[in-house]
Amino acid sequence: MRDLNELEPRVIPGTVGARHPFFSPDGQWIGFFASGALQKVSLRGGAPLRICDVPSVSDGASWGPDNTIVFASIGSDLMRVDATGGTPRPIKDSRPASWPEILPGGKTVLFTTAFQAIVAMPLEGGEKSVIAKMANSPLASQTVIGTGGPIEQARFVRDGYLLYGQSPGIVRALPFDLASLKVTGSPIPIVDSVERAMDGGAVYFAVSQTGLLVYASTGDRHQLVWVDQKGASTPITNERAAFRLPRLSPDGKRIAVDISDDTRRDDIWIYDSERGTKRRLTTTDRNLEPVWTPDGTHITYSSDGRLVDVLVDGDGPRTMLSAPPQGFSTYASSWSPDGRDLLCYVQTSDGYDLCMLTRGEASGPRPLLVRPGFDGFPVFSPNGRWVAYVSNESGDMEVYVARFPGLEDKVEISAAGATRPRWSRDGRELFYRQGDALMAVAVNAGAAFRADTPRRLFEGAYSGESGESAFDVSLDGQRFLMVKSDEASTLRQLTVVQNWQVGLKK
């Protein structure tokens, strides 16, 4: 915590591993999530107190004037619990919900939903009021606030505004009447280039009831590099850009990578590492998660939430593999070695589910693993028998391996948080990110699956735009294609903005 009239922050004891802190109404307590529980700690001192268990990944909380805390977790309704402790109770029919805020008066909770809308409903449950929605949301609302990336963290300001974050890192103000729960004007950009949580999620901003705004800036300047198993990096290109999600071609000679431009729109680019050239593959929509086909002739990617397939040379039509989403998005992840099946993951009302699309089938992706929570980033083993993926079924994000296609014989690989698994090309090792560390596990992925104890190879600031931690593995398994954060783009300061409302009223 840091007072605004102080130069240095101070550590709050007992809060190691804390996520999503929030204040009590009197400012004397801080609530937070850690060790699978909702906890609180007094600013006057003392050890943290456990309020209740939270079995899934948290998505924010709010502390109301009557000592009620409302919190969100992936795959469930909003939950409410007394700040003194007890058993949480659901706010029925609120799912999918994230980033709740109890509005003044303590009777209504504001939240954002995976249906791409800002919603309010009574704390005791009841009918939802859709305050505003994105154009692609299936919900009914008279207020449509345009297109763009996902909405996150709507926050009320007493001067009559909602502030909300929007991917890939914009904060907007929406004129709003609290009494009627109605929007009274059009959204206005306040600041862009705001940092986001790794692999998407929260936009790093906060606003007080009086309107004091604080946010974390992103530098958006990174470099493509090779990193050896000891952590020594070598630049692939001297270019600095907002790189993320790099994928190496099957022959190891080309790189597909997402780059955000100055308007914060994402496109897929192809780098020829031998010739030192690059070429833009996409020019419209928001394009993410490039995946090479096994023969190296096509790239499959997510375009505004739809799965699209295109020749790498850019010639020929773009083939739509899935229908336009209704408020949700589907992301490509890995083709099977024979090029027949595409592993993907889809946003749902309960989180993210694993799915599979078989080439030539008109029915679109079909589910592989459906449950409340997060299941994503699936990748085929080189022999096509096994799938590595990330799941929060234990309460933390961990890497698992299961037999394809039924996902039986599941083995948990990591034990301290993990994301973005990648196989070596010979199938004898599995790699994944654990915070800033790159981990390696020796495996046998034959008829049965066995895994040794994970080992740490190296640590470093290898994350791209929006903190994305994706990487790829060289053909010989000795180097890693990564995005290196420049010093200028690492998170070093918070910016405080006063009186931003004055300019809006003018």
pLDDT digits over 12-45, tens only? 999 988 989 999 999 999 999 988 899 999 999 9
Across the range 499-505, mean pLDDT stands at: 78
According to the model, what pLDDT value does residue 139 have? 85
List all residues 6 or more positions away from 379 whose beta carbon is below 8 Å from its beta carbon.
333, 334, 343, 387, 388, 389, 421, 422, 423
CA distance 461 to 440: 18
According to the model, what pLDDT value does residue 363 have? 77
Q: How many residues are listed for the chain in this entry?
A: 506
According to the model, what pLDDT value does residue 145 have? 82
pLDDT tens digits, residue range 194-230?
Answer: 877 654 567 889 998 888 999 987 655 788 999 999 9
According to the model, what pLDDT value does residue 140 have? 84
pLDDT tens digits, residue range 453-473?
Answer: 999 999 998 887 666 889 999
Write the single-letter amino acid at 461. A
pLDDT tens digits, residue range 380-408?
Answer: 999 999 999 999 988 889 999 999 999 99
Task: Calculate what percentage of the chain has a pLDDT beyond 70.
Answer: 94
Across the chain, mean pLDDT equals 89
According to the model, what pLDDT value does residue 89 have? 95
pLDDT tens digits, residue range 96-148?
Answer: 899 999 999 999 999 998 778 999 999 998 899 999 988 878 888 878 887 66
Is there a contact between 424 and 477 (Cβ–Cβ < 8 Å)? yes
Query: DSSP letter at 134?
Result: -
Q: Looking at the whole model, is its pTM more than 0.75?
A: no
List all residues 6 or more positions away from 135 whose beta carbon is below 8 Å from its beta carbon.
144, 146, 147
Picking from 381, 403, 379, 397, the residue whose alpha carbon sits closest to that of residue 389 is: 379
Picking from 225, 247, 330, the residue whose alpha carbon sits closest to that of residue 292 is: 247
- CA 408, chain centre distance (Å): 27
According to the model, what pLDDT value does residue 201 have? 64
Picking from 216, 194, 139, 146, the residue whose alpha carbon sits closest to that of residue 174 is: 146
Domains (ranges, CATH) in the chain? 19-218+491-505 (2.120.10.30), 242-489 (2.120.10.30)
